Amino acid sequence: MKLAINPSPLDVNMWEKQWVDWLAAQGRFRGETAHWDWLGKLLRVGPDGNIVLLALVDDDDSLCHGLMMIKWPMASRLAPDGFAAHVEYLEIAPWNRAAISPARVHKGMGTLLISYAVMCSVDWSLEGRVNLCSLPQAEGFYERIGMIACGTGAGYDRELTFFELPAMSVEEFLNGV
């Protein structure tokens, strides 16, 4: 498996279709992420480098196991006057989700993607701080990896819990990876 940074639109389109087709073959729908349109998100990636799309893919690019879009800087809620890398979207391939596929092909894609978000944050001089608005079913995961719930998102995210990994917890999180 390898990391793809800002992969080609053709690949992203193919991977997203694979996820939908795989779910359809199981008689399932994509659910809360059905409208996410990763291809459309990829088009937001510009030359400024403050929005990045990361993909975990097989070495031959044939399958994608997880996608994440990060942007920076986002104001930190835990560090006064500080900033964080913000995970705008994160989606794991359906065959890696316990709720859908108990056998899971890979079992740590969420942790791995958040690790990369932390590394981006360090690279961007944000001390490893990462924040995001969690979908309800993922809140337990973010709590377990040391992120702190701090209110709700803003605007259209106001119904979602806002989580942040503080700089002081970065080392502990990475040691657990």
Partner 1 sequence: MTMSEILKKKMTTRLEDGQKVDPRLLDRLDDGGPVGAGTERVSAIERPAKRRRVAAR
Site for partner 1, rule CB under 8 A = 1-6, 31-35, 54, 56, 59, 68, 87-92, 94, 96-100, 104, 106-113, 115-116, 118-120, 122-123, 132-135, 137-138, 140-141, 144-145, 153, 156-157, 159-160, 171, 174-175, 177
**Minimum gap (Å) between residue 80 Cβ and partner 1:** 23
**C-beta separation of 16 from 89 below 8 A:** no
- What's the count of helices (H) and strands (E) in the chain, helices before strands? 5, 7
Site of tokens 């006064």? 80
**Minimum gap (Å) between residue 48 Cβ and partner 1:** 17
**Minimum gap (Å) between residue 18 Cβ and partner 1:** 16
Going by C-alpha positions, the residue among 48, 36, 46, 47 that lies closest to residue 12 is 36
Give the single-character DSSP code of 1.
Answer: -
**C-beta separation of 38 from 68 below 8 A:** no
- For partner 1, give the closer residue by CB, 80 or 100: 100
Name the residue type at position 143.
Answer: E
**Minimum gap (Å) between residue 144 Cβ and partner 1:** 8
- For partner 1, give the closer residue by CB, 17 or 49: 49
**Minimum gap (Å) between residue 81 Cβ and partner 1:** 23
- For partner 1, give the closer residue by CB, 1 or 17: 1
CB-based contacts of 66, cutoff 8 Å, min separation 6: 55, 56, 90, 91, 92, 93, 96, 109, 110, 112, 113
- For partner 1, give the closer residue by CB, 80 or 84: 84
- For partner 1, give the closer residue by CB, 62 or 171: 171
